[in-house]
Structure formats: structure tokens, C-alpha cells
Amino acid sequence: MNVIDISIIIVYVVLTLFVGIWVSKKASKGLKSYFLGGNNIKWYYLGLSNGSGMFDVSGTAWMVGILFLYGVKSFMFMWLWPIWNQIFVMMFLAVWIRRSNIMTGSEWILTRFGDDRAGRASHSIVAVFAIVAAVGFIAYFFEGVGKFLTIILPWDLAVHLGDMLLLTSEQTYAVIIIFLTTIYTVKGGMFSVVATEVLQYIIMVIAGILVAGYAFFAFTDVEINSVISAEWKNVFFGWELGTHWDREFQAFNDLIDSEGYKMFGALIGMTLFKGFFASIAGPTPSYDLQRILSTKTVKEAAYMSGFTNLVLFIPRYLLITGIVVIALVVLTPGMVSDTSLTGGDMEVILPKVINFHVPVGIKGLLLAGLLAAFMSTFSAFVNAGPAYLVNDIYKKYFKPEASHKHYIKASHIASFVVVFLGVFMGFFADSINSLTLWITSALFGGYVAANFLKWIWWRFNGWGYFWGMLSGLVIASLQFVLDQNKGNFIEDSILYNLSHIHAIYLFPIIFGVSLLGSFLGTYLSAPTDREILKSFYKNVRPWGWWNPIYKDLKAEDPSFQKNNEFWWDMMNCVVGIVWQSSMIVLPIYFMIRDYPKALIALAVFVLTSAILKFTWLDKVRKIPN
């Protein structure tokens, strides 16, 4: 590490802490101020903050690895999250959610199911899910940032007590960065999170442009094309993945065969199946939902969600592809000669490139940018998770009449508790990939069924929601335990076979169990109070099977109109997914010098942008303030 690079990183960390603590005074006015910024933050700052929060270092390391190995079509692996739930949020869900005018996702649930026993059960299970998800993501960040910093930074920070190893170097680095980020997040709430994330976004964009510029001018198209094949550049695919690498790079083909993604058509089919239901289910109760609820108006919620898509993908993939281009030219010879190549080797491509193959100055900015990526995403979850613990559990059920100062102090304690649990879980995770698959496939799989039904079906009630979510959470937790202990089971036993099923293929099982719990809970209990349903439907105005409620409202007010825009919204979502995808493949094709395909991607981006201007933006502008 050159002194210039170290100086840049120190300046960044000090500046972030200063900004986060400087704006923290605004957070002391109450819970709404602490967790939502008092609904007084401009939508474009929230959009930058939301985009910054999705720009995490663990995910970036994972995406660098899959782009390196699988080529351009690897962007479809992003659908595992699925990233195009952001499109569904942009097109209609942000408007539906913001109309509620509440603080958290579980508080929102009370507007749908009421405040009786069933409503409170559904309210509590969302709060539990939000806390479990926050803990899971903090474990994911803990695993990623430790692995990343250990390779980058030169100091061995392993902690020993006599001959006993207490903390590995990876764990020590992770604990230090998590501690620094927690300080300003806990002190300043949403104001500090947004202020620092806007700063961090600017740093990440500068770092991405510099890395992309260096990779573009330091390596020729001849050097790049001597490594990658036509299939590597091909965005289209069949049922089974073709041979991605030439014979001299056979080790990479063998790794693809062993990774579990060979049947690519089945994988994409499963992600599409999951993605549709998961996207209509809406954002999980985390930082994304908090940004929507933090906007000033319904119209600004829609603007913010669209802006998030626009600012996120091109800068992020310039950085990712810049790193991959460098790795393809300088790391491939050494990697292909490694007979023990594993998926874990793909996760360390990012830090290896930064450590040995990025110039002084750019290296420091890139490290600051990736630290910013980690800190912004981490702080977003540390702000979102405790909101459910304090507002939806502690305040509602234990201390409903305390002062603002008391709740702020409780929020500080809750934040430290959530961070501690996440770090504790991180100690037991196998890899970034295992946590990624658990969160995206198992944990979110348990969320989908109940949250899909809550929008579209009037008869679905609080007990149906509770049992649907609980059964999904139980199966998801069981899957994580099996995955982490798969080496301990007897070969060919039931537990052994279950633990070796790829997480994405477990989604239909988790979805089915959760759906069964939802239906049983609904039909074995009374419907939600009619007045609650009428209030919800009149306020939110979702489409779906709401005819009995619509008839009641129509009888009371003949001018009331139902939402008939399902097909219009779905068309916009399809156009939006293509629009989003073009912003991912455009920088990839540009960086690998495939200019004809880059021009096609640019043309698709311009065309879909023009369509969405008329079909979405003009419609949003007509929403009353």
C-alpha cells in the first residue's frame, strides 16, 4: 500500500464520520425523524442513497466473479435477487406503499389487516422477518468485507489469547469497519445514512470511472479477445450452457460444470417464476422500503424509485467490468494452471486485481469507493432493522407512552443488538455465495407467498399472513442450518441429499409450504373486518380480486373507480426490465470493445427510455401532490 492510497482511505473514513455525525442533530426530534428523516428529504437524495445502498462490496465481489466466469449472460444471475423488483416498485408499488403514510413495513400491515389479534400477529411476524433479514444481511457484509480487506491491506490483525486464535485477520478487519459504520448510523439515523450515502455514491462513481478508464486504455482489444470466446460475449442462451472458454482454459469450463448452473435454462426459468411473485410481493421490510416511506409525497416515491434504477447500474457495471477486463488479461494464466480451482477463487478476483494490478492513486480511490459501498449498504440495514424492533415491538407492546428521547435511546440499543447478532451469524457462514443464495432463495422465498396475496386478494387475512410468513421463515432457517452442516451428514441420507440441493431449486418447496400456510390460516379463521378492507382498498387502490369490497364502495360512492391497470402495469414492467438490462450489458460490451453490441444496447436503452417517458413518467406527473 502506497502512502498516497492509505491517505485517500483515511481522508474518506474521517470525512464520512464527520458528515454522518454533523447531520445527526436532525435525528433527535423523534422516531419519524430518526427512521424516516421526518419525510423531509428530497427524492433525488433518497434515490442516490437507495442506489448507493445496493452498491455493496460483497455483491460486487460476487458479480465480478460470475461475470469473469460466465461472461455477458451472467447479468441474469442478478435476477436471483431479483433486481427487477425495482422495476415493479417503480411502476406501481412505490405509489401503493407510500399512500399508507406510516413508518415501517409491519406498521403498514396493520392498515391491511387491522389491529385485532390477527392483525397484530401479522404485524409481529413482519417485524420478526425484518429483524432476521437485517441480521442475515449484516452477516453477509461481515463475510464479504473481511475477505476483501484481508487481501488488500498488508497488516495481519489476527487476535490470539495464548495459543488460542480468537479472531482471524478477516474477522478483525470486519469488526473494525462495522464498528466505525455503526457509530455514525446509530447517532444520526436516516439523516446520517442518506447524507453519507450520497457522499459515498459520488466516491463510488468516480472510482468506477477511473478503473474503467484505466482498464480501457491499459489493455487492448487484442489482449481481451485472446482470452474470451464468442460464447462468453453472447447474451443469449439455450437450455444448457454451451462451452464458454477455449480448450486452453478448460479449467474454467470444468468449474462451470461443477457450480450447479449448467442447466441455465432451468435456472432462469426458476428465477423468472420466483421473480414475478417476489416482485409483486413488493420490497422486503428493509432499507428499500424505508426510502419509499421517507419520501415527501406519493409522486416523489415514484420518482425516487425510477431514479434509483437510473443511477445504479451503469456506474456499477463500469467498475465491475473494468475489474474483470484487468483480471481476464493478467490473472487468467495463473488461475487456469491451478488444479484446485473453486468458486471461492472467483470471490477473491476483486481484491487480487486491486492489490496487484491497479495504479497508485486509483487504488486508493477504488478502495475508498468499495469501503463506501460496504458502509452505505451496511448503514442502510442498521437503520432499517431496528425500526421494526423499536417501533413495532418495543413501542407498541411494551412502552407505548414514553418520550421521544427514550425511543431514540432504545433505537441506539436496538441497533447495537442487531449488529451483534449479524456479526455472530457471520462467524458461522461458509462463504459470500452461501449467504447470497440463502438470502435470495430461502429467506426471501418464505416472504413471497403471503406478501403477494396481501395485495391481490380481499379474503386473505391476518392469520393467513402470519402462518404463511411463519412457515416460510421456518423452512428458510432449516435450509440455512442444513447448508452450513452438510459436511456432517451421512452420504446419501435424506438430510445429506436435502443439504446438497441448490438453494434456488428449493424456492418452489418454500413457496408451496408458505402458500399452504397462507390458505389454511385464511380459511380456518374469520375474514378481516369489512371497514378495514374498504379503507385499505380505497386508499391504496391495488388491482386483483377485490370485487366484494369494490361493490361495497361503489354502493356508497357511485363515482368510485377500481384499478383496471394490471395489463398496463405489466407492459411497463416488461419494458422496464429490458430498460434495466440494457443499462447492465451496455458498459460490459463497451469495456470488452464489442462496439456493435454496445450500440445495440444503447439503442435499446434510448428506445425503452422513450417508451417509459410516455407510458410511465407522464402518468406519474399527473398524480396529485
Q: How far apart are CA 130 and CA 137, in angstroms?
A: 11
- Mean pLDDT, residues 301-315 taken together: 87
**Topology (CATH) of 3-235+272-429+563-621:** Sodium/glucose cotransporter (1.20.1730)
DSSP-derived pairing of the beta strands 159-161 and 164-167: antiparallel
Pick from 383, 323, 377: nearest CA to 348: 323
With bands split at pLDDT 50, 70 and 90, how would you rate the model's confidence at 409? confident
Q: How far apart are CA 406 and CA 80, in angstroms?
A: 40
- Mean pLDDT, residues 505-518 taken together: 84
Residue 411 cell numbers, joined: 433505537
Mean pLDDT, the chain, whole residue set: 80
The whole-number pLDDT of residue 600 equals 96
E-state strands within 491-617: none
Residue 593 has pLDDT above 90, yes or no: yes
Q: How far apart are CA 228 and CA 232, in angstroms?
A: 6
Which residue would you say has higher pLDDT here, 278 or 190? 278
Q: What is the pLDDT of residues 512-548, one digit of tens each?
A: 888 999 999 999 999 999 999 999 999 888 999 999 9
Pick from 63, 46, 56, 31: nearest CA to 378: 56
If one counts every other C-beta atom within 10 angstroms of the C-beta of residue 572, the result is: 22
pTM: 0.82
> What DSSP state is assigned to residue 160?
E
With bands split at pLDDT 50, 70 and 90, how would you rate the model's confidence at 184? low
Give residues with Cβ within 8 angstroms of 177, minimum separation 6. 145, 149, 371, 374, 375
Residue 498 has pLDDT above 60, yes or no: no
The whole-number pLDDT of residue 106 equals 64
The whole-number pLDDT of residue 429 equals 59
The whole-number pLDDT of residue 575 equals 96
Residue 174 has pLDDT above 90, yes or no: no
- Mean pLDDT, residues 170-177 taken together: 81
Cβ atoms 365, 206 nearer than 8 A: yes
Residue 203 has pLDDT above 60, yes or no: yes
The whole-number pLDDT of residue 585 equals 94
With bands split at pLDDT 50, 70 and 90, how would you rate the model's confidence at 489? low
Total residues belonging to the chain: 625
Q: What is the pLDDT of residues 417-432, one digit of tens each?
A: 888 887 777 776 555 4
The whole-number pLDDT of residue 29 equals 56
Instruction: State how far the alpha carbon of 625 is from the alpha carbons of 125, 178, 409, in Å.
Output: 33, 39, 34
Lowest mean pLDDT among 41-45, 53-57, 103-107: 103-107
Q: What is the pLDDT of residues 70-95, one digit of tens each?
A: 889 888 877 766 678 889 989 998 88
